[in-house]
Structure formats: structure tokens, C-alpha cells
Chain A
């Protein structure tokens, strides 16, 4: 079974631009979560999508948004990029939503490393 894929793997943008990152979950997984990892703030939850609906959102400004398509692929968008948005963005998929009754093991993609200049 193919793992979680993320594109692109590396991205360089300048302040003020916007960026869209893509995540394809494991086949059959309907939950996709996004995380930001930085040296200063560590790992932080961005949002989770399940069946095309955003279930929960972390403490990030409205510049961070996402969506999920009917095939469970997900995109996240960051508008008006700031230097502090430089980070590794990870997505993870699971068969059930976070906190649902079963063991919601998450499988992570390789990440997209975003550098904002």
C-alpha cells in the first residue's frame, strides 16, 4: 500500500506570496491532519479534515486554510507569507478521525519544507 505523499517536497517563496501544499493520504483513509514543525515552536496542529469537512483547527491565523476533496486528497494554503511561516509542514492520514472510538493511528508523509525569504 502506498504511503502518504506530499508535494512539493521543497519550496522557496518570498514574503507576501501565497503557497499551496498538497497531501495524498493512504488509500482508504478519509482523515487528513496538517502540522507545522519549526525549531522555535515545535510541532503544532493546524487542522484536520474528514470527509471534506474541517473538524478542528489549531491556533493559527486565518492566513492558513485548507480543504479536502472527495477523493480525500487535501490541500493547505498559506496566504501573505511571513518569514515565520518557514517550517516543515507535515500531513498525516488515518482511517478514522482524531479522537474517534478506535485506535486512530496516524501515518505521516515526508513533509514539505517551506522557506520564506
Chain B
């Protein structure tokens, strides 16, 4: 059974600082997703990482995937208050060629002025 672990689960940062959220998973997969969820809201798709070595960047967020290490990272550069949210990674596994996502527990990020 695929297990996905995120760490840290809670992260409090000062504005302007950098930090990295880690997503480890237990079985082989070549596809990983990052999502953002604001309190009381739905999920917003941030990145889809499709292959080993994939790197994607949007604004102050950069995500990467190392399928050999079964690790993805979400790096936050020069954090601002608007980035405060819960971030989830999800890993795709396959069952008879149909994919299904397994989510991590989420990292709740608070950016303080």
C-alpha cells in the first residue's frame, strides 16, 4: 500500500525567509501533484510533476521530483503572508492502468510579518 509522508506538518515562517517542504512516498511512482488549500476552501492545483528530475516554478514556489529517492520538495522563496495555507502532495499509483491519488497529511504554513 502506498504511503505518503509530508514534513513538517506545521511550519511557521517569517516573511522573507526560505524553507522547504518534503514529500516522501513508499512505492514507485512517476507522477506527483502539489495542491494548496486555504482555510475553509477547496483545493487548488499548483504543480504536476511528470518525471524524474522534473522541476516547476510559479512565483515564489518551486517543486521538484526525484523518483529514485521517492522524494518531492516544495521550496518557498522569500515567503510572504499570502502564501499562508495548507499544502498537500499527492502521489499517483496505478491499478489496472487506472490511476488513483494518495495524499500526504498536509503542511500548514503560517507566514508571519
Contact = CB atoms under 8 A, between A and B. Distances in A.
Contacts of B17: none
A64 interface: no
Interface string A81-117: 0000000001010000111100111111111000000
Contacts of A48: 98-100
Nearest to B90: A43
A41 to B, nearest CB: 10
A48 B44 CA distance: 18
A33 B101 CA distance: 10
Interface residues of A, number: 25
B99 A103 contact: no
Contacts, number: 62
Contact of B42 (A56, A97, A104, A111): A111
Nearest to A54: B98
Contacts of B88: 43
A110 B105 CA distance: 20
Contacts of B87: none
Interface residues of B, number: 25
Nearest to A59: B1
B43 interface: yes
B100 A109 contact: no
B48 A103 contact: yes
A85 to B, nearest CB: 18
Interface of A: 33, 42-45, 48, 55-58, 90, 92, 97-100, 103-111
25 contacts: A42-B103, A42-B104, A42-B105, A43-B88, A43-B90, A43-B103, A44-B103, A45-B102, A48-B100, A56-B99, A90-B42, A92-B43, A98-B92, A98-B101, A99-B31, A99-B94, A99-B98, A103-B50, A105-B45, A106-B43, A108-B42, A108-B43, A108-B45, A109-B42, A110-B41
